[in-house]
Chains A and B, each alone.
Chain A
Amino acid sequence: MARVGVFVCFCGANIADFVDVPAVVEEAKRIREVKFAIDYKYMCSDPGQQQIRDAIVQHRLTSIVVAACSPRMHEKTFRKALSDAGMNPYLLEVANIREHSSWVHQKDKKAATAKAADLVRMAVAKSIANEQLHEISVPVTKRALVIGGGIAGIQAALDIADARIPVVLVEKSPSIGGKMAQLDETFPTLDCSQCILTPKMVDVASHPYIELIPYAEVLELDGFVGNYKAKIKKKASYVNFKTCTGCGACWQKCPVKVPNEYNMGIDKRKAIYTPFPQAVPNKPVIDARYCTMLTKGKCGICSKVCEKGSIDYKMQDEIIEREIGAVVVATGYDLWDPKPYEEYGVGRFKDIITSLEFERMVSANGPTNGVPVRPSDGKVPKNVVFIKCIGSRDEAKGIEYCSKICCMYTTKHTILLHHKVHGSHSYVFYMDIRAAGKGYEEFVKKAQVDTGATYLRGRVSKIYKKGDKLMVRGEDAQIGQVVEVEADLVVLATAVVPNKDNPDLARLLGVSYDKYGYMSEAHPKLRPVETAKAGIFLAGCTQAPKDIPDTVAQASACAAKVCGIFAGDTMKKDPMISTVNKEFCSGCQNCVTVCPYGAIVTEEVPMGHGSKEMRTVAKINEGVCQGCGSCVAVCRSMAISLAGFTDPQIINEIVSI
């Protein structure tokens, strides 16, 4: 027989003024199971809690009902009081007689009192069905997987590794560095990108807690938070990294030239190559698409010139496995292809380039030695038109969102042009200048004043060729007139789009993604780093377009989250999760379909006691379940129950009013 204690709070005047608290206590005492009922001025105060603790011991209570404010307010306080008295904290029920009665029925004390009594009765009924619950602990593998070796992945890996947690960093291309390695200078301080990035890259390579796996892809991720198992494919590099010294003899002698991705195809690289001089690791790989030894079986020069004998044309892809506790996804972004802008003649006019191509040209280690040139005739341009929002904020041709970084990098480009080409002039067609960031507006102002760049507010409608000039036509909405700019070079600030592999990777990881392909955070404001899948975090442009400071901040936030998971040997979890009664489960697996977290798997159990025949039933993964109860409502056999909100608990509430 249950022995329930009821504690009704005055909450000063908050409850007592509008609810007859003693009457509620009297009403509670009439319930058969209630063995003790009392009121007090402030139940949440220390003396109030002491009353609860004393009563538990004195009256051998089996469950407690506190009638006070909302459980969202003080449930935790009172649970602690229970545990202090040696009682399971989940035997508490809170009747919300403040927010749900005294505060909302201030004109009718009688009705408010009756309602409060009802709420107490419901809580008592529910508490009778309460069960003892215990916090769940899940063992944890203390190793993090970071996918992507751009600045986001590098930062996350370093921060996690600095906390002495092993990190596996997987990068798709032969070197880490990502898009940032392609930049010349960075806004708003004009730091040299390479200068601030390469030390971090070297740190990654030399860090004792980081295992860097370049030229590799994640193939599979199984398991749940703290206990993932990752399958990683190391692509064949045809170069033995262990013996290779990175001397460079191979790629100097290689006869096959192909467009250089690092320089946006402006110049050529070899079929055996390191992406750029500061690459980490600084070991070449053979691009199997182009190497004639691999495609046609002819050549073999690199092997001949390699003193260490590191070239291995027979190398195969290798699949390795790692046990992982948490994952940081930092796959970065791609740039939008401006082909749909037919009215600009994209593809027809050689002197229309994208911003990243411009960036490579003005970069000191770039293909044109830091001077922008016209692709058509190699001349140095004087009049350069920058057009922003190419693809961004354009539902018709591109995407709806603002790419966030184009305003700033275009500002930077006007400065770089001003520095590199004497007597040059920039025209910037813009729609808005979005310079929200530390030092950004100041940067824009400085650029406008220093360079004298002409800002024209409007979208360009057409570009056509006149002689060797490109005529750029748009409205300057500020003066309400159509202007045409004679340009030597046109630079398109193309939109940031998610890495094209994002949807595939997201499916593989079990993370959701939006209509563009950005992976979705668990909550847009309060959980911007987590995904809905526990233990998988997002850094940088995987989640949305971001500049470098934001990316680095998010990467460090990821690291903090990962370290949080790894803080103990086990993870503690709220016990209010679903459990399956195997006896009743018929194995229809509808719960598996509706679970938003993929927390339900199946297992084989014997058909009957000692039977050899097996049948399939559902099994809840305690580490993953978040306790929403979707599975409970779709379980026709009532085989699943959600601790804290079981069917008996809720039905007791319903029938006890």
Chain B
Amino acid sequence: MDYTNQIREIASKLFAEGKIDVFVGYRMTGFDENQVPALIRDPNEVSKLVFTDKSVFNLTNYLKQDHTRNKRIGMVVKGCDSRALNLLLTESQVKRENLHIVGIPCKGVVDENGNKMQNCIECIFPNPVVFDEMVDGTPTGSEAPPYQVNTDIQNIAAMDLVERRAYFEEVFESCIRCNACRHSCPMCYCAKCCIDQETSTLYHGANTTSSAFHALMTWSLHLAGRCVDCRNCEKACPSHLPLHLLHKWNEQVIYENFQEHLAGVHEGDRGAFYKYSMKDPDDFIM
């Protein structure tokens, strides 16, 4: 997967036509084989742009930042990124008219070791669901294959309660409450995160297992039905916590119990918690 040339071309064209102020893409770090996000404001710097299977990060995270607010932006999105974008549009965080979305028919990205990421293996929406143009020109719209149950989730769910408890106690213990997960998450754009608010921190110290538990649980519930499984959070986590477990679990519960499709697939769909069906499961309630 290498769309470097197409992206450079599109970016130059967009600058030339005066359609954008900023182009958000990827560039090489300059010191190793990995890539970092690039904000190109100068048409002459377009040649810095690259796109390969190492273009990992979900760039929509930049849309919530001040330096892109109310600017006309060109942006590269993969399937998962586009779902995040869809949600941001639905939740009125970005203006569609300010965006020029360049879609990538994603074939999966790789981790530091060059292995295809797990979420890419299980991905059922590799093609962007919202875009202005596709790099290879072909609009895509094939039917999504059925939902894939995450193998990690299956493994954890198969443990008994005591094992699960021990496993997660270790996870929450390892959290250093640096909030990198939150900052890297494109869906976390609140002016002041609830976890930092007074009511919420009441009776909790800053850096304890119990505060980590509270923060991560609340966070994952706020992302339930909204997480697009881009795994920015996991890449950002210095403790390498398996954060996706919480999100994927919620996603699966929602998918199987409410028959909701995945987050951000349809424009205007706010996620499972902001609607209901009379037919929702009721048997867990006495």
A and B, direct touch (CB closer than 8 Å): yes
User: Are the C-beta atoms of B270 and A586 separated by less than 8 Å?
Assistant: no
Q: Please, how many angstroms separate the alpha-carbon atoms of A414 and B30 in the complex?
A: 97
User: A638 with B197: in contact, given A588-B93, A593-B270 (CB under 8 Å)?
Assistant: yes
Q: Specify the chain B residue showing the minimal Cβ separation from A647.
A: B199
User: Are the C-beta atoms of A585 and B92 separated by less than 8 Å?
Assistant: no
A587 CB within 8 Å of chain B: yes
User: A589 with B191: in contact, given A636-B222, A651-B202 (CB under 8 Å)?
Assistant: no
B200 CB within 8 Å of chain A: yes
User: A637 with B93: in contact, given A586-B189, A594-B274, A651-B199 (CB under 8 Å)?
Assistant: no
User: Are the C-beta atoms of A638 and B92 separated by less than 8 Å?
Assistant: no
Which residues of B are found within 8 Å of A655, using beta-carbon distances?
A: 202-203
User: A637 with B190: in contact, given A590-B274, A651-B202 (CB under 8 Å)?
Assistant: yes
Q: Specify the chain A residue showing the minimal Cβ separation from B203.
A: A655
User: Are the C-beta atoms of B199 and A613 separated by less than 8 Å?
Assistant: no
A583 CB within 8 Å of chain B: yes
A648 CB within 8 Å of chain B: yes
Which residues of B are found within 8 Å of A637, using beta-carbon distances?
A: 190-194
User: Are the C-beta atoms of A613 and B270 separated by less than 8 Å?
Assistant: no
Which residues of A are found within 8 Å of B136, using beta-carbon distances?
A: none
User: Are the C-beta atoms of B203 and A587 separated by less than 8 Å?
Assistant: no
**When the two chains form the complex, which single residue of A589, A594, A613, A651 contacts B91, counting CB atoms closer than 8 Å?**
A589
User: A616 with B92: in contact, given A593-B274, A594-B274, A638-B200 (CB under 8 Å)?
Assistant: yes
Give residues of chain A (603-647) contacting chain B, Cβ–Cβ below 8 Å. Answer: 613, 616, 634, 636-639, 647
Give residues of chain A (580-599) contacting chain B, Cβ–Cβ below 8 Å. Answer: 583-590, 593-594
Q: How far is the CB of A361 from chain B (nearest CB, A)?
A: 45
Which residues of B are found within 8 Å of A648, using beta-carbon distances?
A: 199, 202
Q: Chain A 424-441 against B: per-residue CB contact (8 Å), 1 yes, 0 no?
A: 000000000000000000
**When the two chains form the complex, which single residue of A584, A588, A639, A651 contacts B92, counting CB atoms closer than 8 Å?**
A588
Q: Which of B70, B200, B274: most chain A Cβ within 10 A?
A: B274
User: Are the C-beta atoms of A638 and B189 separated by less than 8 Å?
Assistant: no
Q: How far is the CB of A408 from chain B (nearest CB, A)?
A: 35
Q: Please, how many angstroms separate the alpha-carbon atoms of A590 and B270 in the complex?
A: 7
B67 CB within 8 Å of chain A: no
User: Are the C-beta atoms of B191 and A585 separated by less than 8 Å?
Assistant: yes
Q: Please, how many angstroms separate the alpha-carbon atoms of A636 and B190 in the complex?
A: 8
Which residues of A are found within 8 Å of B192, using beta-carbon distances?
A: 583-584, 637
User: Number of contact residues on B: which range applies?
Assistant: 20 to 34
Q: Chain B 62-73 against A: per-residue CB contact (8 Å), 1 yes, 0 no?
A: 000000011000
Dominant secondary structure of chain B at its interface with chain A = loop
Q: Please, how many angstroms separate the alpha-carbon atoms of A321 and B206 in the complex?
A: 58
Which residues of B are found within 8 Å of A651, using beta-carbon distances?
A: 199, 202
Q: Which of A588, A639, A647: most chain B Cβ within 10 A?
A: A588
Q: Which of A616, A636, A637, A655: most chain B Cβ within 10 A?
A: A636
User: Are the C-beta atoms of B274 and A584 separated by less than 8 Å?
Assistant: no
**When the two chains form the complex, which single residue of A583, A634, A638 contacts B274, counting CB atoms closer than 8 Å?**
A634
Q: Please, how many angstroms separate the alpha-carbon atoms of A584 and B194 in the complex?
A: 9
Which residues of A are found within 8 Å of B69, using beta-carbon distances?
A: 613
Which residues of A are found within 8 Å of B93, using beta-carbon distances?
A: 586-588
Q: How far is the CB of B217 from chain A (nearest CB, A)?
A: 14
Q: Please, how many angstroms separate the alpha-carbon atoms of A217 and B219 in the complex?
A: 49
Q: Please, how many angstroms separate the alpha-carbon atoms of A648 and B198 in the complex?
A: 9
Q: Specify the chain A residue showing the minimal Cβ separation from B188.
A: A636
Q: Please, how many angstroms separate the alpha-carbon atoms of A587 and B90 in the complex?
A: 11
Which residues of A are found within 8 Å of B274, using beta-carbon distances?
A: 590, 593-594, 634
B273 CB within 8 Å of chain A: yes
Q: How far is the CB of A632 from chain B (nearest CB, A)?
A: 12
Q: Chain B 174-194 against A: per-residue CB contact (8 Å), 1 yes, 0 no?
A: 000000000000000111111
User: Are the C-beta atoms of A584 and B191 separated by less than 8 Å?
Assistant: yes
Q: Chain A 516-550 against B: per-residue CB contact (8 Å), 1 yes, 0 no?
A: 00000000000000000000000000000000000
Q: How far is the CB of B257 from chain A (nearest CB, A)?
A: 18
B279 CB within 8 Å of chain A: no
Q: Chain A 207-222 against B: per-residue CB contact (8 Å), 1 yes, 0 no?
A: 0000000000000000
Q: Chain A 99-131 against B: per-residue CB contact (8 Å), 1 yes, 0 no?
A: 000000000000000000000000000000000
Q: Specify the chain A residue showing the minimal Cβ separation from B198.
A: A648
User: Are the C-beta atoms of A634 and B203 separated by less than 8 Å?
Assistant: no
**When the two chains form the complex, which single residue of B70, B194, B222, B275 contacts A613, counting CB atoms closer than 8 Å?**
B70
Q: Specify the chain A residue showing the minimal Cβ separation from B70.
A: A613
User: Are the C-beta atoms of A593 and B92 separated by less than 8 Å?
Assistant: no
Q: Chain B 242-286 against A: per-residue CB contact (8 Å), 1 yes, 0 no?
A: 000000000000000000000000000010011100000000000
Q: How far is the CB of A578 from chain B (nearest CB, A)?
A: 16
Q: Which of B199, B270, B273: most chain A Cβ within 10 A?
A: B199
Q: Specify the chain B residue showing the minimal Cβ separation from A583.
A: B191
Q: Specify the chain B residue showing the minimal Cβ separation from A635.
A: B194
Which residues of B are found within 8 Å of A616, using beta-carbon distances?
A: 92
Which residues of A are found within 8 Å of B203, using beta-carbon distances?
A: 655
Q: How far is the CB of A651 from chain B (nearest CB, A)?
A: 6
Q: Chain A 159-177 against B: per-residue CB contact (8 Å), 1 yes, 0 no?
A: 0000000000000000000
Q: Specify the chain B residue showing the minimal Cβ separation from A648.
A: B199
Q: How far is the CB of B177 from chain A (nearest CB, A)?
A: 18
Q: Please, how many angstroms separate the alpha-carbon atoms of A21 and B199 in the complex?
A: 33
Q: How far is the CB of B125 from chain A (nearest CB, A)?
A: 22
Q: Chain A 646-657 against B: per-residue CB contact (8 Å), 1 yes, 0 no?
A: 011001000100
User: Are the C-beta atoms of A589 and B190 separated by less than 8 Å?
Assistant: no
User: Are the C-beta atoms of B91 and A590 separated by less than 8 Å?
Assistant: yes
Give residues of chain B (83-114) contacting chain A, Cβ–Cβ below 8 Å. Answer: 91-93
Give residues of chain B (111-151) contacting chain A, Cβ–Cβ below 8 Å. Answer: none
Q: Specify the chain B residue showing the minimal Cβ separation from A602.
A: B92
Q: Please, how many angstroms separate the alpha-carbon atoms of A306 and B189 in the complex?
A: 70
Which residues of A are found within 8 Å of B199, using beta-carbon distances?
A: 638, 647-648, 651
Q: Please, how many angstroms separate the alpha-carbon atoms of A638 and B190 in the complex?
A: 9
**When the two chains form the complex, which single residue of B92, B193, B200, B273 contacts A634, counting CB atoms closer than 8 Å?**
B273
Which residues of B are found within 8 Å of A588, using beta-carbon distances?
A: 91-93
Q: How far is the CB of A641 from chain B (nearest CB, A)?
A: 9
Q: Please, how many angstroms separate the alpha-carbon atoms of A587 and B190 in the complex?
A: 9
Q: How far is the CB of B115 from chain A (nearest CB, A)?
A: 34
Give residues of chain B (210-225) contacting chain A, Cβ–Cβ below 8 Å. Answer: 222
Q: Please, how many angstroms separate the alpha-carbon atoms of A589 and B200 in the complex?
A: 22
**When the two chains form the complex, which single residue of A589, A593, A594, A638 contacts B194, counting CB atoms closer than 8 Å?**
A638
Which residues of A are found within 8 Å of B190, using beta-carbon distances?
A: 584, 586, 636-637
Q: Please, how many angstroms separate the alpha-carbon atoms of A636 and B219 in the complex?
A: 9
Q: Please, how many angstroms separate the alpha-carbon atoms of A243 and B74 in the complex?
A: 64
Which residues of A are found within 8 Å of B189, using beta-carbon distances?
A: 586
Q: How far is the CB of A629 from chain B (nearest CB, A)?
A: 15
Q: Please, how many angstroms separate the alpha-carbon atoms of A583 and B194 in the complex?
A: 13
Q: Chain A 566-590 against B: per-residue CB contact (8 Å), 1 yes, 0 no?
A: 0000000000000000011111111
Which residues of B are found within 8 Å of A639, using beta-carbon distances?
A: 191
Which residues of A are found within 8 Å of B270, using beta-carbon distances?
A: 590, 593
User: Are the C-beta atoms of B92 and A589 separated by less than 8 Å?
Assistant: yes
User: A587 with B92: in contact, given A636-B194, A651-B202 (CB under 8 Å)?
Assistant: yes
Q: How far is the CB of A457 from chain B (nearest CB, A)?
A: 37
Q: How far is the CB of B208 from chain A (nearest CB, A)?
A: 16
Q: How far is the CB of A270 from chain B (nearest CB, A)?
A: 50
Q: Please, how many angstroms separate the alpha-carbon atoms of A142 and B70 in the complex?
A: 44
Q: Please, how many angstroms separate the alpha-carbon atoms of A647 and B201 in the complex?
A: 12
Q: How far is the CB of B64 from chain A (nearest CB, A)?
A: 9
A-B pairs, top 8 by smallest CB distance, nearest first, are A588-B91, A637-B190, A638-B194, A647-B199, A636-B222, A593-B274, A590-B274, A586-B190
Q: With contacts A583-B191, A637-B192 known, what are 17 further pairs, Cβ within 8 A? A: A584-B190, A585-B191, A586-B189, A586-B190, A589-B92, A590-B91, A590-B270, A590-B273, A616-B92, A634-B273, A636-B190, A636-B194, A637-B190, A637-B193, A647-B199, A648-B199, A651-B199
- 12 A-B pairs within 8 Å (CB atoms) are namely A583-B191, A584-B191, A586-B190, A587-B92, A587-B93, A588-B91, A588-B93, A590-B273, A593-B275, A613-B69, A637-B192, A637-B193
On B, residues with C-beta under 8 Å from A are 69-70, 91-93, 189-194, 197, 199-200, 202-203, 222, 270, 273-275
